[in-house]
Structure 1
Amino acid sequence: MPVKIPYPVQFNPYKHHFGFLLDEIVRWQAANKNELKEYLQRIGNNICDFYLGALSCHEVCAFCSEYFKHLKINNKQALIIWLGNSDWKKISLPDHSEWLIKPGNLAQRYVHIHPAKYSEHTIRVRATTLKTVLALVIHQLPLQTNATRNLQHVNQIRKDYLDLSPVKSVHKSQSRIVKLWQLFEDKSF
């Protein structure tokens, strides 16, 4: 992973950070496509909250790291005390995005962060949708005006590359795949 996540933060930019993935796509397009499956698997299979804001992955993590340094929370036990009776808390970053904080599962990365649900600059996406769109963009399959052609591309990628079941429809007005695909294409590579 080209970005260094500062300690004590635990963060998976593969499933939570749009800007990080934009940079990765450029790198992935020049790489062996078969090796990319490993990276796409890091996205998992759940619904994820996906940050679209202007803060870089490093900036998000650095703000969180500094936040806890300022509070003098320097270990997992101190974080658990700060959380009190709650499993998680939210903090706001300078761009008004909110981030969920919970205990990390790694000794030196005891602050696990991800975008808060329905926060500013954040959308919810299914991991399978995100993986499908990333594979489409990596393979340079452009979004078409023809929904039938889009459906063919989507299902080809899902079946042949991601081992996912096909979808029934990708009509623009309903398809989260098309909306996310358009979001990535609008950023041009």
Structure 2
Amino acid sequence: MPASSNILFNALKHHRGFIHQQIKIATPATLPGLLKKLGNSQMDIYYGSLSLEGLFEAVLTHIPVADEAGYLAWLKGEYKEITLSDTSRWILLAGNVPGQYIHLHPARYSPESMRVKAPILKTAIACMVCHPGLTHPDLKMVNHIRTGMLQLSPVKDLDQCQHLWQVMNMLLI
């Protein structure tokens, strides 16, 4: 069986527990480097109960081959979707990092996950780092973070922040 070290997984984009840990240790000074890793696309964030180690262990039990050549042959140049015991669905692809040949991410709209655009996730993380404990920053705070820290456009009013509040609430464990 492959090892968890063979899994290519961007936990900052896809695992609530990991994101939560990063929020705890991040500072306003370290935010730019952290948030740069998120890119600008959409992503699905797993918020289920599996830790990273538990997730990797569960995924590896679904891979019926023991090495990279076998894995790539099993994929047949495509991808595989698996369902874990918590009903979450995951996509397995060929990795592009030496040694990390199992590229893993949540399936779109999988149970136990939330689809999020990168600017919303960046705003949520920055709000939570800069204003710890505050679940609904006011418009001035949100726009200061969006325009000053993230170089994003401001929001016109807090009614536009409903998805931001949902993401912030999801990230609170």
TM normalised by structure 2 equals: 0.88
The structural deviation recorded for 1:166 is: 1.5
Please, which runs of 5 or more residues in structure 2 have no aligned partner?
none
Does structure 2 conserve the Cα–Cα contact (< 8 Å) formed by 1:130 and 1:180? yes
Equivalence for 1:72 = 65
Equivalence for 1:12 = 10
Equivalence for 1:155 = 143
SS in 2 for 1:96: coil
Is 2:32 the partner of 1:37?
Answer: yes
CA RMSD of aligned residues (A): 2.0
TM normalised by structure 1 equals: 0.81
SS in 1 for 2:29: helix
Residue 181 of structure 1 is aligned with which of 148, 168, 171? 168
Q: How does 1:57-68 map to 2 (within 5 A)?
A: 57-68=52-63
Q: What letter matches 1:49 in structure 2?
A: D
Identity %: 31
Deviations 1:48-85 (A, max 9, x none): 011010001121122223432xx12410x322321226
The structural deviation recorded for 1:184 is: 3.1
Q: What letter matches 2:123 in structure 1?
A: T
In the alignment of these two chains, the number of paired residues is 170
Q: Distance in 1 between matches of 2:71 and 2:30?
A: 37
Aligned structure 1 segments of 4 or more residues deviating by more than 4 angstroms:
none
Equivalence for 1:107 = 98
Q: Greater RCO between the two (CA within 8 Å, min separation 6)?
A: 2
SS in 2 for 1:175: helix
Q: Distance in 1 between matches of 2:4 and 2:18?
A: 15
The structural deviation recorded for 1:177 is: 0.9
